[in-house]
Amino acid sequence: MKIQKLFLAAVILCACTVQHPADHVDPLIGSGFHGHVFVGANVPFGFIQAGPTNVSQGWDWCSGYHESDSTVIGFSHTHLSGTGCGDLLDITIMPVVGEGLTYARGRKDDPSSGLWSYGDRSREIAEPGYYSIPLTRYGILAEMTASVRSAIHRYTFPASEESAVVLNLLNGGNWDHTTESFAEIVGDNAVQGWRYSKGWAKNQKIFFYLEFSKPFKSSEFISSKDDYGKIQERLFTRLDFNTAEGEQLLVKIGISSVSTDGARMNLDTEIRGWNFDKVRRDAREAWNKALSKIRIEADGDIPTIFYTALYHCMIAPSIYNDVDGSYRGSDDKIYEKADFDNYTTFSLWDTYRAEMPLLSIIEPEKVDDMTEAMLKIYEQQGFLPIWHLMSNETYCMPGEAGVIAVGDAIVKGFSGFDREYAFEAMKKSLQRVGVGNELRLKYGYVPSDMAVTSIAKDMEFAIADAAVSHAAEVLGMAEDAEKFRKSSQSYRIYMDKETGFARGRLADSSWRTPFNPFETIHQGNDYCEGNAWQYSFLAPQDVDWLIDFYGGREGFVTALDSLFSASSHLDGNPSNDVTGLIGQYVHGNEPSHHIIYLYTMAGCPSKAADMVRKVMTTLYTSGRDGLCGNEDVGQMSAWYVLSALGFYQVEPASTRFWFGSPIVNKASVNVGGGKTFTVIAHDNSEENKYIQSIKLNGKPYSLPFIDYKDIKAGARLEFEMGPDPAVWY
């Protein structure tokens, strides 16, 4: 009995101390509900993502995969993760058996309508860097793993003289259509070509080089109508093989935005030979190394939720250059042998809030390169990125979020780019016309009768102005600092003292009527993916004024309380993004993400602790529906990672991370330069969720936030936790 107790204690101890973080990642978390996460094989921040594509299309298939659908049309090599729009899913390959197949995507109600097969979900395996699933129609086990720009597949075939692999250049993601494609045979075991498409990214170009582990016995090009009704040659290419029972056919692919030569160079550099298991081990090692940037001790399923969240934070932004540094610019020109790593998939309206601040802590080298990539985008398109994808500006979401991300890098002292030039890029981007800011520059705000989502636009512009002001302070530009500080207050005109809400204001300064704070329309009223409840608190740059507006700290806290206790009823035509409601707080969408921490800023940290713990324990789970809304390219997960450590950056382009309630017992964070930032939550538990006191480097600490400089210096932050609300500052 004593031995059993000792064994149990050892098991519990092991469960609390994470040794191999990749073991705790479940890539299927968020594949249900509206999480829209990528499922497949990749490496941290890798360009290539090899994974399955379902037959179904629609909003819940933005990544190409949803847990409700076990169909597979093939395995594509570019994916989005957690977005609200669909695209990519380029260069699809599908192993098949049999002649007389229909070369099309097909319909879910008719298996013979396309090449698709059901996948056996009971035997599906999804791990960091590896994915496999049996294709029941063909009796084939499909496996894949990846490097940065290349992937290798392993298909275990039945005995057949009609085995084949089909290259599909027609079927991409939602909103994406092939405009031009080409494929050609190279030697006796390779195919190369390209796919140009128009979708969310209006002019996307992907080149590929595809190589097989043995010669194909024959090949066939198949023409088909594209989505525009035009006949295109070689939209499908069939490569035929004879296979013995259990024979494993290997397929390698390299991709590039530059050329087929670039794709082949990427493949030859990254995956030499045909050792599938080595590539899989290397991918796993890459994930363990990246995820080990934060090592935690925690109880229950927290390690699974935490490390899956951290994994999601490392899918994008993704590398967007060849191994020699060459890449395709936003002007569709090729830039050769750049001296930095270029990146794409900048979901900045989402990620400026938590994802980019998190990366500033754990991936400082990448922040320098990502900022340089944004500045190159500025050079090539004339303004900093908003939502940038594969050399294309999608113009998605209001505001100038790239300004905020660049400002954050300046304020935090990053210097791997020209800081003065970056500052000028920020200012010039905020002078751009056609997105609403020109109205704001003319009227002092965005009139609600002259622009849709006027309040959302103005508030995001105001946050960007604050980022410019903060950057100007750091760079010693006092005049600009004051100018943009004042313009960052433009949103104040919407704050209606009578109703207590941010409310539409017309060009003649009158209020928009009628007014209903519960009205929620996707992008058809004064707000964007939300309503007056959430947007009334979207001024993280001006919290002191907000507090005064609500009558002081007591009135402000009462207003926050009412947000969380209000009915969750929504009028109008709510966006699918408005999910994860606690009252009218919407955790499933980004404009709410800072709000809980306003309690701490208002001197009421216990209420912040209550709500942070509630969100972390009820809206993040280890189930397939473990995300309460779109992952949004790392933002939803970054909120959890930072909050689990006990703090969150509320203000734009700031060095202050405000305290909430740590859910991990200990964390060791590799902040670069050989330094480790340590967080310890003494006596932490479900009941002991309130911070009682804090020590920084062994000394009593009486501030409600920790500064970035202390984090990067490798400080030791200790929380004393207890069951009773307390204020230590």
Average model confidence (pLDDT) across the chain: 96
Determine the Cα–Cα distance for residues 581 and 619; give it in Å rounded to an integer. Answer: 9
Query: Counting beta carbons within 10 angstroms of the beta carbon of residue 636, is it exposed (0 to 12), middle (13 to 18) or buried (19 or more)?
Result: buried
Domain count, the chain: 2
Q: How far is it, in rounded angstroms, from Cα 439 to Cα 116?
A: 50
pLDDT confidence of residue 5: 39
Domain around 104: 21-290
Q: How confident is the model at residue 111 (pLDDT cuts 50, 70, 90)?
A: confident
**Pair 283, 333 in one domain:** no
Q: Quick one: 497 and 640 in the same domain?
A: yes
Residue 674, Cβ density class (10 Å: 0-12 exposed, 13-18 middle, ≥19 buried):
exposed
Judge residue 408's burial from the number of C-beta atoms within 10 Å of its C-beta, 0-12 exposed, 13-18 middle, 19 or more buried.
Answer: buried
Mean pLDDT of 701-724: 98
Q: Would 15 be classed as within a structural domain?
A: no
- 338 and 277 part of one domain: no
Q: Which two structure tokens, joined as six digits, stand for 635?
A: 């933002």
- pLDDT tens, residue by residue, 183-237: 999 999 999 999 999 999 999 999 999 999 999 999 999 998 888 888 999 999 9
> How many percent of the chain have pLDDT more than 70?
98
Confidence at residue 18, expressed as pLDDT on a 0 to 100 scale: 77
In DSSP terms, 495 is beta-bridged to 502
Residues 6+ positions from 552 with CB-CB distance below 8 Å: none
Shared domain for 285 and 335, answered yes or no, is no
Q: Is residue 392 part of a domain?
A: yes
Residues 281 and 392 placed together within one structural domain of the fold:
no
Its pTM surpasses 0.85: yes
In a domain, 56, yes or no: yes
| C-alpha to C-alpha distance for 343 and 317, rounded to whole angstroms | 6
Tell me how far apart the alpha carbons of residues 248 and 255 are, in angstroms, rounded to a whole number. 23
| Residue pair 223/234 in contact by the 8 Å Cβ criterion | yes
For residue 702, the model assigns a pLDDT of: 98
Bridge partners, 132 (sequence order): 125, 143
Element (H, E) at 194: strand 190-198
- Return the amino acid letter for 578: V
Per-residue model confidence as pLDDT tens digits over 23-32: 999 999 999 9
pLDDT at 229: 86
The mean pLDDT of 369-396, rounded to a whole number, is 98
Examine the fold and report which residue of 290, 312, 335 is the final residue of a domain before the chain moves on: 290
Instruction: Let me know: does 61 contact 43? Beta carbons within 8 Å.
Output: no
φ, ψ for residue 573 (rounded to 5)?
Answer: -125, 80
**Residues 722 and 688: beta-carbon distance below 8 Å:** yes
- The whole-number pLDDT of residue 524 equals 84
Whether residue 247 sits in one domain with residue 377: no
- At residue 375, what are phi and psi to the nearest 5 degrees? -70, -35
Please give the structure tokens belonging to residue 324: 């020699």
Judge if 410 and 269 occupy the same domain.
no
Asked if residue 234 lies in contact with residue 169, where contact means CB atoms within 8 angstroms, the answer is yes
**Amino acid in the structure at residue 123:** R
The predicted structure's pLDDT at residue 434: 87
Residues 274, 333, single domain; the answer is no
Whether the Cβ atoms of residue 468 and residue 409 lie closer than 8 Å to each other: no
pLDDT of residue 699: 98
pLDDT of 173 = 85
Give the mean pLDDT of 38-65: 97
Four-residue CA torsion sign, 587, 592, 597, 599: negative
Tell how far CA 490 is from the center of its chain. Answer: 29
Mean pLDDT throughout 25-40?
A: 98
> Which residue, 266, 290, 314, sits at the end of a domain?
290
Question: pLDDT tens-digit profile of 640-699?
Answer: 999 999 999 999 999 999 999 999 999 999 999 999 999 999 999 999 999 999 999 999
Label residue 16 by pLDDT band (50, 70, 90). low
The answer to whether position 319 is within a domain reads no
Residue 675's domain is classified under what CATH number?
Answer: 3.30.2080.10
Q: What is the CATH number of the domain that holds 280?
A: 2.70.98.10
Report the candidate in 480, 486, 479 with the shortest Cα–Cα distance to residue 468: 480
Would you state the pLDDT for residue 11? 39
Residue 382 lies in a domain: yes
Tell me the β-bridge partners of 521: 530, 573
Q: How far apart are CA 400 and CA 460, in angstroms?
A: 7
Same domain, 263 and 359: no
Domain co-membership, 220 together with 74 = yes
Measured between alpha carbons, how far is 587 from 594 in angstroms, rounded to an integer?
10
For residues 302 and 285, give the distance between their C-alpha atoms in angstroms, rounded to a whole number: 22
Residue ending a domain, choose from 269, 290, 311: 290
**Bond before 517 cis per omega within 30 degrees:** no
High-pLDDT (> 90) share of the chain, % = 94
Q: Is the pLDDT score of 1 beyond 50?
A: no
Residue 6 included in any domain:
no
pLDDT in tens, 466-506: 999 999 999 999 999 999 999 999 999 999 999 999 999 99
Residue 572: pLDDT over 60: yes
C-alpha span between 205 and 567 (Å, rounded): 47
pLDDT exceeds cutoff 60 at 4: no
Any domain includes 298: no
Is residue 444 domain-shared with residue 570, that is, in the same domain? yes
Residue 46, classed as helix, strand or coil, is: coil
DSSP string for residues in 128-147? TTEEEEEETTTTEEEEEEE-
Whether 393 and 251 map to the same domain: the answer is no
User: CA-to-CA distance for 16 and 249, rounded, in angstroms?
Assistant: 41
Among 316-330, 572-586, 661-675, the minimum mean pLDDT is found in 572-586
Domain-located, residue 690 = yes
Q: Tens digits of per-residue pLDDT, 507-544?
A: 999 999 999 999 999 888 999 999 999 999 999 999 99
pLDDT tens for 350-366 read 999 999 999 999 999 99
The C-alpha atoms of residue 413 and residue 262 are separated, in whole angstroms, by 35
Question: Which tens digit of pLDDT belongs to each residue from 412-453?
Answer: 999 999 999 999 999 999 999 889 999 999 999 999 999 999
